[in-house]
Each structure stands twice: as structure tokens, then as C-alpha cells.
């Protein structure tokens, strides 16, 4: 137990309040569910966006909330509504956006069947609270982004990462070089964590980039994996897990098995990325994407493992534990953040034991988001989805950035009411 000063104690309380709202947004099942499975955990699109947002904020030099002001970056399309929510929740609770994004990413994995806390005996990820918030983007000097266009470099496009092993290893060498240099790049852990995100995720907009052949594949949109059968089987074999394993976890495990079996193209026992970064058509069901996002992990030319065959589970919590508070450098705290300067640890499973004791944060803006939490949870077209690049997300109105507050922010019109 750690004794903190008043500022840090208040900050911890603020972030617990934010966690309470996140729990309402993604833990449970759709509010109109009925029947025997009405209490079954369901992975919704807000949880999926929270996992994606965790990754995308990390790509801009650490999870510090700058992704809220990076909606003009084309790789962030589809995150508009999610970043608006993060902005509103941080303003309301006064928990910094980076801390909320870290909590949301871990909780999103859990909500979608990826148990970060019981798959590795040695590692149980924490969330580090109290991060400096730059109140703006943080892409300067990032090796992943073109410094003239401030877009992701073409060599790291979706098509390149799926079809080009050199592109894949170089991407992770650059993203993780502040902690893991060549020929490691933390690619083994990173690849498994990305595969876990994709196993429960979707392709809702056309992937970008061209392959080495000079083509822009017409990748299908859809879920990366839709459950086969009634989940009594893994992919191609009888289910081995404990009988009380949840369906959401079984679906995740089944997806990983399928990813592993269809990830690489083999010639004379040598593994290569799949042709054009696509999964074999016979392994793609209706409603699924054929994008093989982990294809570039096959036959990497310099990484010490050469091929990272996805499908394991214990490396995912290890990557999350390393990455949740990792950056080459941190921005300065905004003048309106808490005076606390300690990094305060939070263990989400412990917090969830008493989460119902915390009042659910309420405001006109937050209530609008809560009303759409489960919208289109089983589709690729929901209130959380858009293929438009750019987003009206007024972070300057966030009180952490000196604004007047966002409690009346109306995301349905993307405008603030007159003052």
C-alpha cells in the first residue's frame, strides 16, 4: 500500500470514476438481450476501438492521449467517435486521456475474451496513471511518420505490412527501438499482441498501400474472424479448454488457431508472407476480411526468430505490460492537470471487484455515448464507425487544456452549444 498526497489521491479517485464509465461502456451484454445467454459477455465495437486506440496512441511516441488530436492522420480513420468520447470522459473526470486510453485498452482486451491477467503466471499488466497530456498531436520526429505530410510512411502501409517481411520488421524496429533494438525489436510480443487485437477486430474501411508487385489489393471488409459452429471446436480440432470457458474467449482462441494455420505461405519448408497479403480464399467465410495482417511476420530477413508464428497467448500480457507506459520521451504536463507528479499504479481486476461502489459519471454528453455503447456490436457499420479522415474533437475545450468543459458536447452535430 502506498500513501499519496492529496493531489495524487484525488487523481486516483478521478481515474477510478473514469474506469467506472468504461466498465459501463463495454462489460456485459447488449441491454436488450434476453434468454439463457443474456448475461454472457459480448465484445462490442467500443471495446474493439479501445484496443485499436491503445495501439494507435502508442505509435505516436507513447500512450499520452495525443491521438485525440491526430484524426487527420489517415490510419486513424474510424476513431473519431471514440476519440470524442475519450475527450469528454477525461474532461468530466479530470483523469488524463493517456491514463484513460491505457485503462480502456486493457479493459477492451478483457471484454473481447483476451484475458490479460490469467494467461501468464509471471506477468499481470498494471495501468500507470497520471501521464502528461500534450493537448495536441505528438508526431514530431516520430520514425513511423513522414515529417512533411504527417502521415504514416508508405513503407508501413497496411498492404506492405501484410505482404512484405522487411516492412514488418522495420516497422517494429522503429516503433520499439527505445526499448528493444535490432535484431529483437520486441517483434515476437508485438506481433502476438497485434494478432490478438485482430482476432477480435474488424476491417471497416479499405486498407491502404500497395504491395511489392505494385498493386493495391481490393481487400474485403468484414470481421477478421467469425466463429465457426457453436464454438465446440477449435479451428480443425476438438475444443480443449475448460468447460466453463466463456464463448467470447473461445471465439478469440478459435480465431488465433485459424490465424496460425493460415498465416504463412510455405515454399520448400521456408515461410514467406502470403501473396498480396491475403488469406487463402477457401479459409475466408462470408462476412470476413481476407486481409492477412500478420503475414509480414513470416520470413523476416534480419529478426532473430525470422518467423513469428502467431497463436500463443502469454506474450500478449507481456507486450501490454511493457507498452502501457513506454515512450522515447514524454511531453510536459499541461498547466491545468493535477499537481500530482507521481506515477500511480492501478490493477484493473482488483478495481473491478468494487467498481459498483463508484457512482457512474453522468452528463448530457456522456449519456449520449452510453446510449450507443452497444450499437451494431455484431456488424462493421455502427455509430462508432466512419471512413472519413478528420474529426471535430475540440480538445481545447477540455478543462485539462484550459477550456470551459465538454459536458454539453453534442457529437451528433459535432458542435459545441453556444456560450
pLDDT, residue 270, reads 92
Q: Give the ranges where 60-141 is alpha helix by DSSP (H).
A: 80-93, 97-111
Q: Which residues of the chain have pLDDT under 50?
A: 35-36, 415-419
pLDDT of residue 417: 40
Select from 401, 354, 343 the least CA-distant residue to 8. Answer: 343
Buried b / exposed e along 324-342 (16+ C-beta atoms within 10 A): bbbbeeebebbeebbebee
pLDDT (0 to 100) of residue 357 = 97
Q: What is the DSSP letter of 210?
A: -
Q: Which residues pair with 79 in a beta bridge?
A: none
- What is the grid cell recorded at 213? 508487385
Which residue, among 415, 340, 328, 402, has the nearest Cα to 144 in the 3D structure?
328
Torsion, CA 181, CA 182, CA 183, CA 187, rounded to 10: 60
Kind of pairing between the strands at 202-203 and 222-223:
antiparallel
Angle at alpha carbon of residue 52, lines to 114 and 144, rounded to 5°: 125
Q: Residue 241: what pLDDT?
A: 54
Distance CA 16, CA 378 (A): 29
Q: What pLDDT score was predicted for residue 418? A: 38
Q: Contact, 144 vs 178, CB < 8 A?
A: no
Cα–Cα distance measured from residue 76 to residue 388, given in angstroms and rounded to the nearest whole number: 10
Instruction: Count the alpha carbons within 13 Å of 101 in the hemisphere toward its beta carbon.
Output: 30
Measured distance CA(201)–CA(329) in Å, rounded: 30
Helix (H, G, I), strand (E, B) or coil at 346: strand
What's the DSSP call for residue 68? G
pLDDT value at residue 212? 84
Alpha carbon 23 to chain centroid, angstroms:
16
| CA–CA dist 116, 314 (Å, integer) | 8
What is d(CA 264, CA 250) in angstroms, rounded to the nearest whole number? 23
For 108-119, how does the pLDDT look when each residue is reduced to its tens digit (9 = 90+)?
Answer: 999 999 999 999
Give the C-alpha separation, 240 to 249, whole Å.
13
Instruction: Please compute, for residue 21, the number of CA atoms within 13 A of its CA located in the half-sphere on the CB side.
Output: 25
Q: Are 144 and 70 in contact (CB under 8 A)?
A: no
b/e burial code for range 183-212 (CB count within 10 A of at least 16 → b): ebbbbbbbbbbbbbbbbbbbbbbebbbebe
Give the count of beta carbons closer than 10 Å to the beta carbon of residue 39. 9
Instruction: Output the CA torsion sign for 133, 137, 139, 145.
Output: positive
Q: For 231-273, give the DSSP string.
A: SSB-SSSB--S-TT--HHHHHHHHHHHHHHHHS-EEETTEEEP
Identify the residue whose cell numbers are 445467454. Answer: 37
What separation in angstroms does the CA of 170 have from each of 61, 173, 224? 16, 5, 24
Tens digit of each residue's pLDDT (9 = 90 or more) over 83-94: 999 999 999 999
Residue where the block lists cell 481486476: 349
Q: Output the pTM of the full model.
A: 0.95
Amino acid at each position: 500500500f502506498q500513501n499519496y498526497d492529496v493531489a495524487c489521491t484525488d487523481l486516483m479517485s478521478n481515474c477510478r470514476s473514469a474506469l467506472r464509465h468504461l466498465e459501463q461502456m463495454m462489460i456485459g451484454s447488449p441491454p436488450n438481450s434476453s434468454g439463457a445467454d443474456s448475461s454472457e459477455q459480448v465484445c462490442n465495437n467500443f471495446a474493439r476501438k479501445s484496443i485499436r486506440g491503445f495501439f494507435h496512441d502508442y505509435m505516436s511516441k507513447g500512450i499520452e492521449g495525443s491521438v485525440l488530436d491526430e484524426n487527420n492522420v489517415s490510419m486513424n480513420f474510424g476513431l473519431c467517435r471514440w476519440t470524442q468520447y475519450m475527450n469528454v470522459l477525461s474532461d468530466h473526470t479530470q483523469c488524463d486521456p493517456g491514463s484513460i486510453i491505457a485503462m480502456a485498452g486493457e479493459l477492451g482486451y478483457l471484454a473481447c475474451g483476451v484475458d490479460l491477467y490469467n494467461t501468464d503466471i509471471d506477468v499481470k499488466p498494471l495501468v500507470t496513471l497520471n501521464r502528461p497530456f500534450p493537448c495536441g498531436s505528438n508526431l514530431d520526429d516520430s520514425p513511423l511518420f513522414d515529417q512533411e505530410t504527417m502521415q504514416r510512411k508508405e513503407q508501413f502501409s497496411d498492404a506492405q505490412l501484410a505482404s512484405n517481411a522487411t516492412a514488418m520488421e522495420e516497422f517494429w524496429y522503429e516503433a520499439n527501438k527505445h526499448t528493444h533494438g535490432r535484431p529483437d525489436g520486441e517483434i515476437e510480443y508485438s506481433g502476438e499482441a497485434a494478432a490478438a487485437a485482430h482476432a477480435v477486430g474488424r476491417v471497416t474501411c479499405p486498407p491502404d498501400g500497395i504491395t511489392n508487385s505494385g498493386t493495391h489489393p481490393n481487400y474485403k471488409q468484414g470481421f477478421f474472424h467469425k466463429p465457426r459452429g457453436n464454438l465446440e471446436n477449435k479451428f480443425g480440432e476438438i475444443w480443449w479448454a475448460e468447460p466453463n470457458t466463456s464463448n467470447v474467449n473461445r471465439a478469440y482462441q478459435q480465431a488465433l488457431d485459424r490465424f496460425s494455420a493460415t498465416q504463412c505461405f510455405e515454399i520448400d519448408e521456408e515461410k514467406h508472407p502470403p501473396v498480396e497479403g491475403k488469406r487463402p480464399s477457401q479459409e475466408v467465410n462470408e462476412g470476413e476480411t481476407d486481409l492477412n495482417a500478420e503475414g509480414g511476420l513470416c520470413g523476416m530477413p534480419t529478426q532473430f526468430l525470422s518467423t513469428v508464428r502467431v497463436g500463443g497467448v502469454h506474450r500478449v500480457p507481456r507486450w501490454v505490460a511493457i507498452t502501457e507506459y513506454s515512450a522515447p520521451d514524454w511531453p510536459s504536463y499541461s498547466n491545468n492537470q493535477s499537481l500530482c507528479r507521481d506515477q500511480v499504479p492501478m490493477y484493473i481486476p482488483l478495481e473491478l471487484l468494487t467498481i459498483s461502489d463508484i457512482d457512474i459519471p453522468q452528463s448530457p454528453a456522456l449519456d449520449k455515448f452510453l446510449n450507443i455503447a452497444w450499437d451494431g456490436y455484431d456488424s462493421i457499420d455502427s455509430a462508432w464507425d466512419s471512413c472519413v479522415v478528420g474529426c471535430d474533437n475540440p480538445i481545447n475545450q477540455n478543462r485539462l487544456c484550459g477550456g470551459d468543459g465538454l459536458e454539453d458536447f453534442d457529437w451528433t452535430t459535432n458542435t459545441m452549444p453556444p456560450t
